[in-house]
């Protein structure tokens, strides 16, 4: 069981170019510019996120959750925290789209199984 379920976890990264970045909460892998694997200690690949906070230093968009693209993306404004809580459908992954090169994104989450 991951400590992320109880105390949560966080990550901070900078996206050098305008692009999409997928954060996988339930996969193990090596981080790249476009894919992040924040809970690499979860070798069973079963952890999810049921509460997330996203804080970018530039305006970004949340364009997809669990592999399903939104009809209209959620805009997360510069230096503003976006928070989402889930009770039923846990988050396995999210896709964020940057709008400015050199965007720093901070993500805090609490997991579930």
Distance between CA 90 and CA 5 in Å, rounded? 12
Does 1 score more than 50 pLDDT? no
- Residues 6 or more apart whose CB falls under 8 angstroms from that of 79 comprise 55, 56, 57
Distance between CA 91 and CA 106 in Å, rounded? 17
Tens digit of each residue's pLDDT (9 = 90 or more) over 47-63: 678 889 999 999 999 99
Structural domain for 74, as ranges? 3-112
Q: What is the CATH number of the domain that holds 36?
A: 2.60.120
Q: Average per-residue pLDDT in the chain?
A: 86
Which residues on neighbouring strands pair with residue 83, listed in sequence order? 53
Does 42 score more than 90 pLDDT? no
Taking the model in full, what pTM does it have?
0.87
- Residues 6 or more apart whose CB falls under 8 angstroms from that of 58 comprise 78, 98, 99, 100, 102, 103, 104
What tokens does 109 get? 């989450």
Does 45 score more than 80 pLDDT? no
Cβ–Cβ under 8 Å, residues 19 and 33: yes
Domain count, the chain: 1
Which pLDDT does position 29 carry in this prediction? Answer: 84
Range in 1-5, 12-16, 29-33 with the lowest mean pLDDT:
1-5
92 by DSSP, 3-state: which?
coil
In percent, how much of the chain has pLDDT > 90? 58
């Amino acid at each position: 069981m991951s400590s992320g379920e109880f105390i949560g976890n966080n990550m901070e990264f900078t996206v050098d170019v305008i692009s999409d970045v997928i954060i996988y909460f339930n996969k193990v892998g090596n981080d790249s510019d476009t894919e992040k694997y924040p809970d690499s200690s979860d070798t069973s690949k079963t952890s999810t996120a049921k509460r997330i906070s996203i804080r970018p230093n530039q305006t970004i968009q949340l364009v997809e959750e669990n592999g399903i693209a939104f009809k209209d993306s959620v805009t997360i404004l510069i230096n503003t925290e976006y928070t989402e809580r889930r009770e039923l459908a846990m988050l396995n992954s999210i896709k964020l789209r940057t709008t400015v090169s050199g965007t720093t994104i901070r993500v805090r989450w609490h997991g579930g199984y």
